[in-house]
């Protein structure tokens, strides 16, 4: 289960691996992967997240954007290229430990975009911290990720303290007098649902819990349909949200289904089906990628013959921050970590000014939360919603 499995990494074994990696890194510098001028080439930026499985729709647009950023960089630096190294977690914390250990063992990996989900971040980030590998997540929103004294941790979007109250404000705007709240017990889903419940207060008349990989929601559906709730908030991912919504509609539930960014992906639309998903709402600490700044949208369309999806513009900007560091000659994890400490620039796609506090949280003034409505088989931007 996403939030339950945590792979314990033996401290001695990891320390040996990290020390070995550090030694290997020093040998690599100026070695076969370097130019004669001493500039280190063939460095890698990791990309960590669900690149396959049911929730990959939340991550693949970002991976495409990261690939595009590197392709554009390499076109300008043909003599000293960078590559993306993917780490496919399938969104499962039980896979994150092994992937993180593999990443820190590759001395060419000097930075990481991700992990994309909160549960896998809880498992992977301690390993990255011990290895000094700087990370910027494009979408992991659990607030407590910033409370672990991980100096390598940076978040490129707002956390659940922003998204939760915003989702509640949206629900209040529906004039719902009774709200049912369900979460999937994951680090992400439960945390976001808790923030929504706090902000809704007495409007929450009932709650329930789903489980990882649950497909039969008949018991919860019965509770919802008999509750009188005219709005339902679901904290979790598409894999469970999609069958849940289909079964709610089959049972005649007419209320508004609201979720977080965990359902804001193309799979939620296609798997649920147009008839059942119509009118569902997803909140996200992200502005519409389809209206991003600069040439990002046109470039993405030209590269993939498709409009950019969820978090694509964010991942593009975060990858470019790492590329900027490498372009300035920062060739070690420590160099790039130091580069991030004083970073303070606007991303070319999002327009967000990226600068972080001591805990790795994005400047709150740069956080935006939007609502998207399923309409005619697509996610349509509805409106930016207040964070509190």
pLDDT tens per residue, range 249-285: 999 999 999 999 999 999 999 999 999 999 999 999 9
Q: How many CB atoms lie within 10 A of CB 350?
A: 27
Map residue 241 onto helix, strand or coil: helix
Residue 170 in tokens? 């949206």
pLDDT at position 188 over 80 = yes
pLDDT at position 21 over 50 = no
Once rounded to an integer, what is the mean pLDDT over residues 125-140?
98
Which residue is it, tokens 């991003």? 292
Asked whether the bond before 115 is cis by omega within 30 degrees of 0, the reply is yes
pLDDT for 38: 66
pLDDT for 1: 34
Once rounded to an integer, what is the mean pLDDT over residues 309-321?
98
For residues 218 and 236, the answer to whether their CB atoms sit within 8 Å is: no
Residues in contact with 149: Cβ distance below 8 Å, sequence separation at least 6, in sequence order: none
Edge to edge, the sheet with strand 82-88 lists: 82-88, 43-49, 109-113, 135-137, 153-155
Provide φ and ψ at 360, rounded to 5°: 95, 5
Q: Give me the chain's average pLDDT, please.
A: 91
Asked whether the bond before 140 is cis by omega within 30 degrees of 0, the reply is no
pLDDT at position 29 over 50 = no
Once rounded to an integer, what is the mean pLDDT over residues 69-78?
98
pLDDT tens digit string along 87-102? 999 999 999 999 999 9
pLDDT at position 34 over 70 = no
pLDDT at position 17 over 50 = no
Once rounded to an integer, what is the mean pLDDT over residues 295-315?
97
**CA–CA separation, 240 vs 179, rounded Å?**
19
**CA–CA separation, 327 vs 39, rounded Å?**
10
- State whether the Cα torsion 53-141-237-291 is positive or negative: negative
Within 13 Å, how many C-alpha atoms sit on residue 353's CB side?
9
Q: What angle do CA 355, 356, 358 make, to 5 degrees?
A: 150
pLDDT tens digit string along 358-383? 999 999 999 999 999 999 999 999 99
pLDDT at position 5 over 80 = no
pLDDT tier at 37 (50, 70, 90 boundaries)? low
Q: Which of 68, 128, 118 is nearest to 89 (CA)?
A: 118
Q: Percentage of the chain surpassing pLDDT 70?
A: 90
Once rounded to an integer, what is the mean pLDDT over residues 123-149?
97
Q: Which of 308, 281, 303 is nearest to 293 (CA)?
A: 308
**CA–CA separation, 349 vs 49, rounded Å?**
21
Map residue 274 onto helix, strand or coil: helix
């Amino acid at each position: 289960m996403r939030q339950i499995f945590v792979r314990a990494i033996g401290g001695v074994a990891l320390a040996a691996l990290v020390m070995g990696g550090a030694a290997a890194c020093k040998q690599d510098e100026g070695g076969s992967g370097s130019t004669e001028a001493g500039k280190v080439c063939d460095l890698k930026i990791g990309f960590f997240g669900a690149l396959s499985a049911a929730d990959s729709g939340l991550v693949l647009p970002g991976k495409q954007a990261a690939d595009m950023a590197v392709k554009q960089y390499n076109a300008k630096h043909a003599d000293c290229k960078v590559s993306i190294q993917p780490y496919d977690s399938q969104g499962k914390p039980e896979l994150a430990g092994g992937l993180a250990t593999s990443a820190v063992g590759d001395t060419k990996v000097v930075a990481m975009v991700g992990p994309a989900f909160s549960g896998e971040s809880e498992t992977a980030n301690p390993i990255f911290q011990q290895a000094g590998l700087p990370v910027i997540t494009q979408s992991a929103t659990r607030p407590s990720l910033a409370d672990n004294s991980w100096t390598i941790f940076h978040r490129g979007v707002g956390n659940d303290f922003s998204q939760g109250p915003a989702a509640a404000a949206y629900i209040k705007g529906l004039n719902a007098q009774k709200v049912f709240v369900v979460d999937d017990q994951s680090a992400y889903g439960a945390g976001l649902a808790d923030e929504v419940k706090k902000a809704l207060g007495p409007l929450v008349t009932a709650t329930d819990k789903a489980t990882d990989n649950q497909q039969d929601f008949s018991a919860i559906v019965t509770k919802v349909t008999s509750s009188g709730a005219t709005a339902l908030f679901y904290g979790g991912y598409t894999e469970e949200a999609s069958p849940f919504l289909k079964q709610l509609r089959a049972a005649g539930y007419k209320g508004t289904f609201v979720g977080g960014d965990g359902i804001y992906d193309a799979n939620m639309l296609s798997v649920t089906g147009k008839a059942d998903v119509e009118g569902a709402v997803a909140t996200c600490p992200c502005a519409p990628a389809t209206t991003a700044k600069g040439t990002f949208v046109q470039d993405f369309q030209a590269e993939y013959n498709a409009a950019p999806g969820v978090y694509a513009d964010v991942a593009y900007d975060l990858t470019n921050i790492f590329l900027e560091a490498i372009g300035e000659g920062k060739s070690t994890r420590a160099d790039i970590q130091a580069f991030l400490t004083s970073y303070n620039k606007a991303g070319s796609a999002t327009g967000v000014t990226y600068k972080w506090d001591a805990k790795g949280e994005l400047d709150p003034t740069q956080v935006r939360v939007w609502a998207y409505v399923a309409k005619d088989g697509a996610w349509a931007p509805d409106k930016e919603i207040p964070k509190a």
